[in-house]
Amino acid sequence: MTRLSVIRYPDPRLQEASERVEEFGPELAAFVDDLLDTLRPTGGIGLSAPQVGDRRAVFVMDLSEDHSEPQVFINPEILSRERDAWVTESCLSIPGVEGKVIRATRLRVRAQDEDGEVFEEDLEDMYAVCVQHEVDHLEGRLFIDRLRFFKRLLARRQALRSARRVAADAVQVAGAVDSPTDSSRS
């Protein structure tokens, strides 16, 4: 079990478009397992490769209560969208920030599985919303980019404050680890 580090806004890698996966095999399958291992303990429902600093067009999602129904989407394409609605979203890469965006609540998606087999699936409600959120990640877009202008500014400000707090906490922890604990150290 390998847990990957989730990168956070404003890391510029979150704004880079993904590249199509051309090679399928054990390395890709291991990466998908790592994505799932990273997603499970977060309480999130989806995770894309760009969120862990990888440029491949891959994401996983699992909306089941016990994380027992993972789904893998490689090189996804949204074929159709219907029934737009306002939905509240959040993101593992932007902790502590949520906002309302318009998403289709019904869609058809085409993707490949870990073996490269093409499949199409009709999804509704949160499944459809999650796919759109993760496809946005693959295109270098964040949900806060879809917020109304002033809400987007507030969300970015809040995300930057949160990122600074995390960085400051990391410095404090590093300082505590590096500080001498006994008088024999100089």
- Residues serving a catalytic function are 134
121, 126, 131, 133 alpha-carbon torsion, rounded to 10°: 170
Bridge partner list, 115: none
**C-beta of residue 155 within 8 angstroms of C-beta of residue 145:** no
Alpha helices in 72-148, H assignment, sequence order = 125-138
Q: Nearest Cα to 111, choosing from 135, 80, 75, 139?
A: 75
**Residue length, the chain?**
186
CA 84 distance to own-chain centroid: 22
Bridge partner list, 101: 87
